[in-house]
Amino acid sequence: MKKVKSSATPQTVDAYLAALPEEARSTLEKIRKTIKAVAPKATEVISYQIPMYKHHGMLVGFAAFKNHCSFFPGAKPMATYKDELKAYKTSKGTIRFPVGKALPAALVRKLVKSRIAENEAAFKKKEKKR
């Protein structure tokens, strides 16, 4: 389960994607496009050496590995959509899928929307305490 190596840690999502083999890059670009459409207010960052999206905290992330790609929506959205994730290898907060076979955009949209709702609810709760 080795991460695809590049010579230096990328500073931007564009640099991360540019360093990947073509098949992994095109797979993750589809997911990136969906995330950006669903979460236009989210900020793209590199965190833990992978692309992540922030909106009132970490939203989701993705990465390419030698033999698969991963999407990181967090545990709560995965529990909500567990029936739709049965076809994938999963672990706490992580969905693994083949390089070259992106997760369906509809599923990514649901997971990202669920995560946005989770983060915004936590943010509002924090704001009330102030």
Enumerate the domain spans of the chain: 13-117
Angstrom distance (rounded) from CA 44 to CA 11? 11
Task: For domain 13-117, give its CATH number from 3.40.50.970, 3.90.1150.200, 3.60.21.10, 3.40.50.300.
Answer: 3.90.1150.200
Whole-number pLDDT of residue 1: 47
Whole-number pLDDT of residue 129: 77
In which residue are the tokens 């995560």 written? Answer: 115
Measured in whole angstroms, how far is the alpha carbon of residue 70 from the centre of its chain? 8
Whole-number pLDDT of residue 3: 52
pLDDT tens string for the chain (130 positions)? 445 554 568 899 999 999 999 999 999 999 999 999 999 999 999 999 999 999 999 999 999 999 999 999 999 999 999 999 999 999 999 999 999 999 999 999 999 999 999 999 999 888 877 7
Say if residues 53 and 39 touch (Cβ distance below 8 Å).
yes
